[in-house]
A = this chain, B = another copy of it.
Amino acid sequence: MNLTEDRLARIALTWLTEPGTWTVHRMVDRVGPVVTLAALLDGGAPSDALRRAVAARLNAGDPRAVAAEAVERADRLGARLVTPHDAEWPGKVAHLRQLSLDGADRKVDRDTAPPLCLWVRGSWPLAEVLDRSVAVVGARAATGYGLHVATELGYGLGERGWTVVSGGAFGIDAAAHRGALTAGAVTVAVLACGVDRPYPVGNTALFDRIAETGLLVSEWIPGSEPFRPRFLIRNRVIAAATRGSVLVEASARSGATQTMRRALAIKRPAMVVPGPVTSAMSVGAHELLREYPDARLVTGLAHVLEEVGRIGTDLAPPARGPVRPTDHLDDDATMVLEALPRRGVTGLDSIAARAGVAVRTALRKLALLEQLGLVVHRDGGYALTPQRQPPAPTT
């Protein structure tokens, strides 16, 4: 096998047909990219639809020439091509093989094959960076709440040595990337266009920082435009290249919820941050939690680490409120404490009767309450310590 030919053929194939196309991927699996490319160029696509699509794209140029030009363009930019033959290829994306959704009615939902190759801008080895990585995705039109949560998550993950992967979009994506950058961590933006012209242009400064300290990654050749369906095609890579995905905010129609469905389909942790039910930007998050029993509600870094961390090392402690002196009282002690009137001294028998406990139980519990400083013994009876009125009843 000529590796240079193999690489050029992979590039040509991703240009000739959109990435993820199962028909193409199956041919590559069987006969390799060089033979697949030759077959497609000869009009030998196994389906009419693919044959016609190839024919149409050929009007725009010669795939081999396009591929060669893409390599030159990438060289000038300092970007590189990574294929399954390279040491830095992220093996996890092969799990997309499980994701053949024949029943799906849209091409982007159906054509979910693993990528044939990835363009990478940045100096870290791709596989190493993605080994301990978490995707943080969500709405572009995020709220202050979502931006806050995404930034905190990105920062927290980064601080713990995790790579934060997202899509480089406005809103949640950018907040997650920025959080990671603030922590001095590596962050990866997986793009739906060429790594030379990351979209959106408004995030250019962010992309420049990511390219310097992290990675920009794309399946599309340099120069490619961010056509709308490409974002959805791209999402499967975000889901498959990471140990798990976190959705921070999503409206009912957000593409970010699709990333989560991809993660669920390949049995990766799919984590969802809830939000106010009054917020349109959490509707998609709540629907995911309702629809998919495997989607996991997370409220912050501890929960995320519990899902993606090595078992037993990153378990989140259950939520606890503040500790009060009355917390560890048993029911008898609580009844005795409550049976004491707010003011005045009460006799032992009367306390026991009000509390409905035996006199000797009352005596023992009163001794305990005295030790805790909640009750004082005086004038032959018992009274509440003035500063320690019992807290109001709990609903």
* Interface: A169 (CB within 8 A): yes
Contact of A231 among B52, B192, B353, B393 (CB under 8 A): B393
Give bound CA distance, A139 to B167, whole Å: 38
Contact of A296 among B18, B52, B167, B290 (CB under 8 A): B290
Q: Are B293 and A293 in contact (CB under 8 A)?
A: yes
Q: Are B334 and A229 in contact (CB under 8 A)?
A: yes
Residues of B within 8 A of A18 (CB): 356
Residues of B within 8 A of A256 (CB): 395
Mask of A33-74 contacts with B, CB within 8 angstroms, 1/0: 000000000000000010011011111110000000000000
Give bound CA distance, A176 to B145, whole Å: 26
Give bound CA distance, A108 to B334, whole Å: 11
Q: Are A320 and B350 in contact (CB under 8 A)?
A: no
* Interface: A354 (CB within 8 A): yes
**Nearest residue in B to A137 (C-beta to C-beta)?**
B395
Give bound CA distance, A92 to B382, whole Å: 43
Q: Are A56 and B17 in contact (CB under 8 A)?
A: no
Q: Are B331 and A107 in contact (CB under 8 A)?
A: yes
Residues of B within 8 A of A356 (CB): 16-18, 53, 56-57
Give bound CA distance, A276 to B342, whole Å: 38
Q: A192-B393, A330-B106 are in contact. Are A60 and B283 (CB under 8 A)?
A: no
Residues of B within 8 A of A277 (CB): 149, 273-275, 299-300
* Interface: A2 (CB within 8 A): no
Of A127-135, A260-268, A357-365, the stretch lying at the interface with chain B is: A357-365
Residues of B within 8 A of A169 (CB): 395
A/B interface sample: 27 pairs, CB < 8 A: A16-B356, A52-B357, A52-B358, A53-B358, A55-B358, A55-B359, A56-B356, A57-B356, A149-B278, A226-B393, A228-B391, A229-B331, A231-B393, A232-B394, A252-B320, A253-B320, A254-B394, A255-B394, A273-B277, A274-B274, A274-B289, A275-B275, A286-B297, A287-B318, A287-B319, A289-B297, A290-B297
In the A-B complex, the 8 residue pairs with the smallest Cβ-Cβ separation, listed nearest first, are A52-B358, A60-B353, A274-B274, A253-B321, A277-B299, A107-B331, A169-B395, A59-B353
